[in-house]
Amino acid sequence: MTDLRIDPRMDSGATLYAGAVPNDLLRSARFRLEREAHWRKLDALVSRAEQGGAATLTYEEVRNLASGYRQAMNSLSVARDISLDRALVAYLESLCARAYLVVYAPQESLGGLISRLLLSGIPQAVRRSALPLFIGFLALILGAAAGYRLYGSDPSWFYTFVPPEMADLRTPDASADYLRSTIYGDERHEGDGLAAFAAYLFSHNTGIAVLVFALGVFVSVPSFILTFYNGLILGAFFAMFAQRGLGYDVFAWLSIHGVTELAAISVACAGGARLGLAVLLPGARTRRDALRHQAHDAVKLAILAALMLVAAAFIEGFLRQLVQDPTWRLAIGWGMGVFWVSWLLLGGREGKVKREPVR
C-alpha cells in the first residue's frame, strides 16, 4: 500500500531519502519520513500562492503545485489507513485543504469574465426570459395606465400614490407655470435642490430595483406589486402634467432618463419573476433545484438592471439639466432605448452562426 507515484521528478527525491530511513521504524513513521520533504515543498508553494496568488509562481512551480497536490491527497488517503499519528493526519488534512483552495481557485481573469458577460451572457439570458420580461413590463404599463385613469377621475389619488418627498412641490395644487419651471429647470430651481432630488431618485430607484428582484422569490407577487406601484406613481405624475397641457414636455422630461431607468426596474422585476416562476412552476425539478437553475439567468438580469440604473444615473446627473430642448431629450432617451434593445437582441449571436456550419 504505497503512494501512486505520479510525478517521476518528485519520486527521485523520495528514493534518495528512503536510503537513509532505518528499517526498524514503524511503518507509519517510515511512510512519513519518506514523504515529508515533498509535503514541506508543497507547503512552501501553497504559502506563496496564498500570499500573492498563483500568478507569482513560475511555470515549473505551478506544475509542481498540481502534482504535489495530487500526491498529498494520495498520502492523506494512505495515512488515514495506516497511521494512528493524529498530528500527521491533521497536518495532511489541512495541507490538502489549503492546496485544494489554491489549485481550485477561479481561473478566469476579471476582464475576460466581464467581457464575456457583456458580449454574450447578458443578451442571451435576456433572450431566454421573454415571459418574465413580459410580466415585468406588463406590471409597469398596467400600473401607469391605472395611475393615469385614477388621477383622471379624482386628482386626490395623487397624494395616495406619490410619496411626498418625491413629489416635492409638484402637486395637483401647484400652478401650471410652476410645473413648467420644474421641467425646464429655471434659475429658481437650478442648483442643490434639484441635484439632491436627482440623487434621491437614483437611490430610491436602486432600492426599488433590488427589492423587486429579491422579493421575487415569494412567487413573484411582491415584485409585481412593487413594479405596479411604481407604474401608478408614474401614471399619476404624467396625468398631473398632462392635465395642464404639459403632456409633451413631461414626456420628454421623463424620457431622457426614464426610458433607461424604468426599463431597468422592469428588468429587475423580470429577474424576480424568473425566481418566482421557478418556485411556482418548477417542472420536473424540485423547487430548490429549479430555483438554483433559474437563478443563473435571474442574476444576469439583475446585473443588467444595475448597469442600466448606473447609466440612467449618469444621464440624470449630467444630461437632464444640460439638455433643455424637448426634442433632444426625446432623441437621447429613446436613442438609449434603441441602444439597449439592439444590444440585447443582437449581442452574443455570432457564436451560433459560427458553430452552425460545423454541425
Residue 172 grid cell: 395637483
In whole angstroms, the minimum distance from the beta carbon of 146 to other proteins comes to 24
Cα–Cα distance between 97 and 208 in angstroms, integer?
41
247 binds other proteins (CB under 8 A): no
**Can you tell me whether residue 337 is helix, strand or coil?**
helix
Nearer to other proteins, 107 or 156 (CB): 107
In whole angstroms, the minimum distance from the beta carbon of 86 to other proteins comes to 5
182 binds other proteins (CB under 8 A): no
Place of cell 426599463: 263
198 binds other proteins (CB under 8 A): yes
In whole angstroms, the minimum distance from the beta carbon of 273 to other proteins comes to 16
* Contact pick of 2, 131, 191, 342 for other proteins (by CB under 8 A): 191
What residues between 317 and 336 interact with other proteins by CB under 8 A? 317-318, 321
Nearer to other proteins, 76 or 135 (CB): 76
For 61-96, letters b (16+ CB in 10 Å) and e give bbebbbbbbbbbbbbbebbeeebeeeebeebbeebb
Show the binding pattern over residues 132-171: x = contacts other proteins (CB under 8 A), - = does not: ----------------------------------------
Closest CA to 320 of 183, 181, 203: 183
120 binds other proteins (CB under 8 A): no
In whole angstroms, the minimum distance from the beta carbon of 292 to other proteins comes to 7
**DSSP letters of 41-59?**
HHHHHHHHHHHH-GGGS-H
Nearer to other proteins, 76 or 239 (CB): 76
241 binds other proteins (CB under 8 A): no
6 binds other proteins (CB under 8 A): no
What residues between 268 and 297 interact with other proteins by CB under 8 A? 291-292, 295-296
In whole angstroms, the minimum distance from the beta carbon of 278 to other proteins comes to 11
What residues between 17 and 36 interact with other proteins by CB under 8 A? 25-29, 32-33, 36
Closest CA to 129 of 220, 52, 46, 230: 220
Closest CA to 228 of 151, 293, 159, 144: 144
Closest CA to 307 of 47, 132, 126: 126
In whole angstroms, the minimum distance from the beta carbon of 267 to other proteins comes to 14
Cα–Cα distance between 205 and 233 in angstroms, integer?
12
**DSSP letters of 200-232?**
HHHHHHHHHHHHHHHGGGTTTHHHHHHHHHHHH
Cα–Cα distance between 105 and 102 in angstroms, integer?
5
What residues between 53 and 112 interact with other proteins by CB under 8 A? 70, 73-74, 76-77, 81-88, 91, 93-98, 100-101, 104-108, 110
Q: Are 46 and 61 in contact (CB under 8 A)?
A: no
39 binds other proteins (CB under 8 A): yes
115 binds other proteins (CB under 8 A): no
Cα 283 to the chain's mean position, in Å? 25
